[in-house]
Structure 1
Amino acid sequence: MTGETTSVRAESLISRYRGLICDLDGVVYRGAVAIPHAVETLNRVAEDGVPVVFATNNASRPPAEVGDHLRGLGVTQQGWSVVNSSQAAAAYLTARLAPGARVCAVGGPGVAHALTEAGLTAVRAADLENAPVEAVVQGLGFDITWRELSAISRLAEAGATWVATNVDLTLPTPYGRAPGNGALVALVQTATSVSPHVVGKPQAALFDLARDRLGTERPDTLVCGDLLDTDIKGANASGLDSLFVLTGASRLRDLAFAERPARPTYVAADLSGLRTPGLPLHTTSREYLVELGPDAVPRMADAGDNGTLLQSVVTMAWAARDAGRAVSDDAGVWDRIERQLGVSLPAQATH
């Protein structure tokens, strides 16, 4: 191992960056419950003077309400802010519509709040007959009705600009996966020939908004998330390094079989990985810690800490698949490996 590599391993991961863009659902909390090690890690990051922007695709709540949630969990008062995909949707529309333009807001309170904050006029679906609109924004909401979904379809077909805050199919909860905004967007798409403009991750708009808040350049910014197809793929497309954590919907098996656009720079069991040394996954395969057996099942050596073994499993699987070798995709095999590495989720969070 070179002296340069040793130096890289000696410093904490977050110390290599000037700003952090961090996802929320599945990274910091799951529903109303904080994920282990998340709050204390974020508070240490704040003590180190690294600013954080929490960037979430969940558009249901205004940023101030999300902030209250974070403070209620024990996150320190300073050094961070919140941006959501409703704000990205509002920014997209303000660049295209006149100030005060009427926009139908479908979703939780966060959607209407973002539109109003941006100088647009938010209109409820129930008031459309008395207030024609130029656009419609569809975001996650827990009380969305059939009439609202029908209104989106009708408006989109009539030529109104249809903006979806995000298309995440699922949302992590303490009881497992629940339908996300993407599931409702897909439902509307079955009844219309129009496709929405999507502003949330993996699109660049939300990352750009977050980085503007941080005031950082791309090489100085780290993204942390739990979803390969949104957080990680979006970070890669935006030219940002990323840390993938195994506390949300995407699991180790998903990571092992990820194609290059969805491969993170780093991997860790949870957010505490920000405070530990680590090497970018592309720097070494560490195959000496993990072997691929004749049955295509990864076998781990007894030596090595769980963090190093986790990295080794991932890089071995990527190297094998890139070389055209078979790797077992049996879910039971990967569940067992997760348990061996101590990164498996509680049963109620995985089903």
Structure 2
Amino acid sequence: MAKCSTSMAAPNICDTKSFTEFSNHGGLVTCDRAILSLEYGSEILESYLPNNMRHSYRNHVEFMACGTKAKAWLLDQFGVLHDGKQPYPGAISTLKNLAARGVKMIIISNSSRRASTTLDKLKSLGFDPSLFVGAITSGELTYQHLQRRDDPWFQALGKSCIHMTWCDRGAISLEGLGLQVVENAEQAEFILVHGTEALGLSSGDSVSKSLKELEKILEQCAAKGIPMVVANPDFVTVEARELRIMPGTLASTYEKLGGEVKWMGKPYQIIYKSAMAMAGVDASDSIAVGDSLHHDIKGANASGIESAFITCGIHSSELGLKEFGELADLSSVHSLASKYDAYPSYETIKDIGRYRDAYGRAFRGIGLAAI
């Protein structure tokens, strides 16, 4: 199910008692959880390995994290780099090491917000925005298409819309789009969904609404037959280890009601093509890293891009992971991949013996276990 390489042998370290203790301690998971920690993870590992093995393993970790042939890494943010509140251990240092090796990194995110806002968010969490070539968000794609109107589908939308947005997370501005926000289906020509917490008002403010209240409005819109644009296809996201409902859930509900939906972002190829164009690479030179099989991995599959699946993200409960730092069972990952019809090139797994084998087979990969 995954691409493997057998051209280099793995360091034979997995049979040692020290390595087993390290794995049980959770350091290996911390290492993988942040795409491999070149700083935090290695430091923990060195405290558990014999002196004669420490240097070789540090080099091995660094090589795996940076040894992929991909020239561009398309990185999801929530559930991969951070949890919305703080960066994952080792994520910042890992990105610095990747940048130092000339890797082009692009944030590719199903965020309702524009790209500049996403980079500002990363900066506030301690990431250096200059490490990234840029960011492509579903919100940015939505904004550009609504502003340019150079696509026939968007040309036909009209200007009056019902706007579903955020409240606690901060409302999304429609400035510069020339849209008229209306508050009922009779006046609306389309629905614009940025969030799941509030309804935009014609005054420019917003009022908090429950999901049930928003779904009631969707029923009225579906009866009228007006289309929807969803600026974030995600169904849920990870925030401080909790799952939060995202706009894709409303869009899915609208489709079930018979409504037409224009999905902007992952897993659709439009966002991957934009990211690769920004990096100046094609699919063969790219790898996508994410925690959503339906969005990150399925989108990479459709675009012909290698992918790495982070198992401790939104699928953690489905994989039976209860604590931060746990790794998934191999069979559980395979079953889940089949369920979503989304197959990663690399994935984090629990079994140390398999992980040792994966070191050998994926040594030219990115350090997540290749199956």
Counterpart among 256, 259, 265 of residue 334 in structure 2: 256
Counterpart-to-counterpart distance in 1, 2:226 and 2:171: 17
Counterpart-to-counterpart distance in 2, 1:181 and 1:18: 32
Quick one: which amino acid aligns to residue 140 of structure 1?
G
Counterpart among 78, 100, 124 of residue 25 in structure 1: 78
In the superposition, relative to structure 1, how do residues 302 and 88 fare at CA in structure 2: closer, same or farther (>3 Å)? closer
Residue 237 of structure 2 is matched in structure 1 by 171
Q: What's the TM-score, normalizing by structure 1?
A: 0.65
Residue 300 of structure 2 is matched in structure 1 by 235
Q: What's the TM-score, normalizing by structure 2?
A: 0.62
Residue 356 of structure 2 is matched in structure 1 by 304
Matched, 1:138 2:173: no
Kindly, what percent of the aligned residue pairs are identical? 21
Counterpart-to-counterpart distance in 1, 2:344 and 2:165: 31
Matched, 1:267 2:347: yes
Displacement of 1:75 in angstroms is 1.3
1:1-351 matched pairs, under 5 angstroms: 5-6=7-8, 12-13=65-66, 15-59=68-112, 61-80=113-132, 81-92=134-145, 94=149, 95-96=151-152, 97-98=154-155, 101-102=158-159, 104=161, 105-108=163-166, 113=173, 120-126=177-183, 134-144=189-199, 145=209, 149-189=215-255, 192-250=257-315, 251=319, 252-253=328-329, 254-257=332-335, 258-259=337-338, 261-268=341-348, 301=353, 304=356, 315=371
CA contact (8 A) 1:112 1:122 kept: no
Counterpart-to-counterpart distance in 2, 1:3 and 1:87: 37
Counterpart-to-counterpart distance in 2, 1:305 and 1:3: 11
Residue 285 of structure 1 is matched in structure 2 by none
Displacement of 1:99 in angstroms is 10
CA contact (8 A) 1:228 1:262 kept: yes
Residue 20 of structure 2 is matched in structure 1 by none
CA contact (8 A) 2:286 2:305 kept: yes
Unpaired runs of 5+ in structure 2?
A: 11-59, 200-208, 320-327
In the superposition, relative to structure 1, how do residues 4 and 189 fare at CA in structure 2: closer, same or farther (>3 Å)? closer
Quick one: which amino acid aligns to residue 5 of structure 1?
S
CA RMSD of aligned residues (A): 3.9
In the superposition, relative to structure 1, how do residues 301 and 268 fare at CA in structure 2: closer, same or farther (>3 Å)? closer
1:66-106 Cα deviation digits (max 9, x unpaired): 21221122212313222211233345552124499525242
1:151-198 Cα deviation digits (max 9, x unpaired): 4444454343312234432211214222222333344456x3224122
